[in-house]
Chains A and B, each alone.
Chain A
Amino acid sequence: MDQLPEWMLPQSTPDQWRTLPDGLPQKSARPPRRSAARSAVREMITLVSGMLTDDATAARRGLLQSIDTRFKTLGLIGILVASTFMHSLVPLAICYLMCITLAAASRVSARRFLGVLLVVPFFSLVIVLPATLNIVTQGHPVWTIWRTDGMHLGPWQLPCMLAVTDSGLFIASRFVLRTAVCVSLVVLLTSTTRWSYLFHGLRALGVPQLFVAVLNMMQRYLDVLIRSAEQIHLAKISRSITSRSTRQEQSWVAAGIGALFRRTYRLSGQVYLAMLSRGYTGEVKLLDSPRSHIRDWVFLFLAAALVALLLRF
């Protein structure tokens, strides 16, 4: 059998653990920067992969879990669509309060519900922040940031001040609130419904088979994608010796994304083959066929009444 090459034999002695490895000059081994972005990304991965794969919430006994999927989908999507037509804050706030109540009654974990709710409106807030300013939205200034007193910048006359306006604030809060409502409705629907039932419900509501089959594969694909991303991240940390330059890091990210897609493509291809081999035809099949009860009609009626009421504001 082959002799090991000389260099491969373990060279380090216990004392050397207090020094850098040979071939790594002190100056090139910069302490890796800790990044807040990384833990934020990790947190989001946990949240999204939790949403995608975890049927535990759907298995709990709770209000929304007890409603037939078809009615639930129709009711919640109906409220979602209606919320995009609500132009004042009060009905949106009422919708939001209703979401919180439903989440509590359906025992959706606060971590998941609030986690998604904190992340999404935060990003939408960043997007709409400029809209609060008088240069974007006309209105009464409520908070003056900077008085220019009619300064000139070259040929341009600057507006005489930079301020947050009341109508700007109104537009921004409406946007954030509406995003929050939409996102929570989607979280409520997906986390209280088993995926297969959700897809079945969409089919029952007349969504075309091809469309539902694509959604179905997409959910599996995303799940594989997120798991792979997490594993590649760990595998890379395990073999990283020094923190590298930003440029190297960027080129790695590009290569890593390439590897990620190659792998997910292959894996999800295999998932699809495994589904075919077990008789999948593109149609969603369920263990027990759903049956509607009085409470499902009550739920739908309440949802419709709420929508009708709120749209009158």
Chain B
Amino acid sequence: MQFLFNVDNITFAYPGEGPCLLDVSFNVNFGERIAMLGANGSGKSTLLHLLDGLYFPSTGSINVMGQKLTEESVETVPFGPRFRKEVGFLFQNSDAQLFCPTVEEELAFAPLQISGWSRDEIMGRITDTLDLLGIAHLRDRTPQKLSAGQKKMVALASILVVSPSVLLLDEPTAGLDPRSQSILLDILDQLHRAGMTLITATHDLELLPHLADRALVLGEDHTLVADGPVEPILADTDLLLSVNLIHAHTHRHGDISHTHPHYHVIGHEHSHNS
């Protein structure tokens, strides 16, 4: 059985900076749903850039379907076009991701490169995608002038329109209103059941069980500190505290003062046995 991604002992540093990923190794199978967890600055977004073949590791290697990801290999045929079509990447900052004058052109950018698709087919896909995400009314607007949440939905649409089979999502739910969030979760769920591989970087521990079955945890020292099923990792408060994903919270109820770990910032209920 071949792995979709085989990440072997990679290290990465931005030019002139210290390492931002250290000795990271893991495998991803077809159809898996994986969450990438870690405090701010632990390297989640960077790792997603590496998986998308935008940056390349300084040491170690990333193999995609047995093919090593290098600056050269993503420019060879047939691997390059296949890789770029099958792997979709939602950037953390959607502002950075949109570069066309209108939403419609934004969605047409990738499909236009597939010469076998007719204009009607492309237009049909654009309409379907916009309808599905509930943003049909934005079709003629300029992406740069949309609200932050609207930009995120447009960026997602511009990726889904070429029917990728792997999605790399960087904080997909951040900044979305409840309606858009539930549209997104529903779509991801349906795609996953149809065989899509999902790799999501997130801080939203409450949504985590809806987004992933397996979790990778990056520590603040930029190494991979845990890799396993979501439930035990969520239950492992020592681990989550040690990577600063949750915080110890001290407070008083009447005479009782106590400390317990938290992953919501405000509003919580718990019982006292003392």
Contacts and interface: CB of A to CB of B under 8 A. Distances in A.
A266 B54 CA distance: 26
A4 B115 contact: no
Given A9-B195, A23-B114, A262 B142 contact: yes
Contacts, number: 154
A239 B114 CA distance: 12
B196 interface: yes
A4 B77 contact: no
A20 B96 contact: no
A23 B142 CA distance: 29
Interface stretch (A71-79, A251-259, A275-283): A251-259
B80 to A, nearest CB: 7
A243 B74 CA distance: 11
A146 to B, nearest CB: 41
B204 interface: no
A255 B100 contact: yes
A246 interface: no
Contacts of A18: 65, 78
B99 A20 contact: no
Given A8-B163, A241-B110, A259-B144, A234 B49 contact: yes
Contacts of B76: 31
Interface in A149-171: none
A7 B164 CA distance: 10
Given A25-B116, A235-B91, A10 B159 contact: no
Contacts of A25: 115-116
A265 to B, nearest CB: 9
A137 B142 CA distance: 54
A289 interface: no
Contacts of A128: none
Contact of B84 (A50, A235, A240, A267): A240
A152 B30 CA distance: 74
Contacts of B144: 259, 262-263, 266
B116 A8 contact: no
Interface in B64-90: 64-65, 67, 72, 75-82, 84-86, 89
B262 to A, nearest CB: 31
Contacts of B162: 241
A241 B117 CA distance: 13
Contacts of B183: 1
Interface stretch (B124-132, B246-254, B264-272): B124-132
Interface residues on B, range: 35 or more
Given A12-B165, A14-B30, A255-B99, A7 B81 contact: no
B60 interface: no
A241 B191 contact: no
A208 interface: no
A19 B128 contact: no
A24 interface: yes
Interface residues of A, number: 57
B158 interface: yes
B128 A8 contact: yes
A28 B115 contact: yes
Given A22-B116, A29-B77, A32-B80, A14 B49 contact: no
Interface string B90-109: 01010111111100000001
Contact of A21 (B2, B82, B194): B82
A253 to B, nearest CB: 11
B90 to A, nearest CB: 10
Contacts of A17: 64-65, 67, 79, 82, 86
A36 B163 CA distance: 32
B52 interface: yes
A5 B82 contact: no
Interface in A213-272: 228, 231-232, 234-244, 255-256, 258-260, 262-263, 266-267
A111 B16 CA distance: 10
Nearest to A30: B77
Contact of B128 (A5, A228, A239, A263): A5
Interface in B31-51: 49
B81 A231 contact: no
Nearest to B31: A10
B81 A24 contact: yes
Given A11-B163, A14-B65, A259-B144, A236 B77 contact: no
A5 B132 contact: yes
A31 B190 contact: no
B187 interface: yes
Nearest to A28: B115
B142 A4 contact: no
30 contacts: A5-B129, A8-B129, A9-B195, A10-B164, A10-B165, A10-B191, A11-B163, A17-B67, A17-B82, A20-B82, A23-B117, A29-B77, A30-B77, A32-B75, A32-B80, A46-B16, A50-B16, A54-B16, A111-B16, A231-B91, A234-B49, A235-B97, A238-B84, A238-B89, A240-B110, A241-B81, A241-B85, A242-B114, A259-B100, A263-B95
Given A22-B116, A266-B144, 18 more contacts: A4-B132, A8-B191, A9-B163, A9-B191, A10-B191, A12-B86, A19-B78, A23-B116, A50-B16, A109-B16, A231-B93, A232-B99, A235-B91, A235-B96, A239-B109, A242-B81, A255-B101, A259-B144
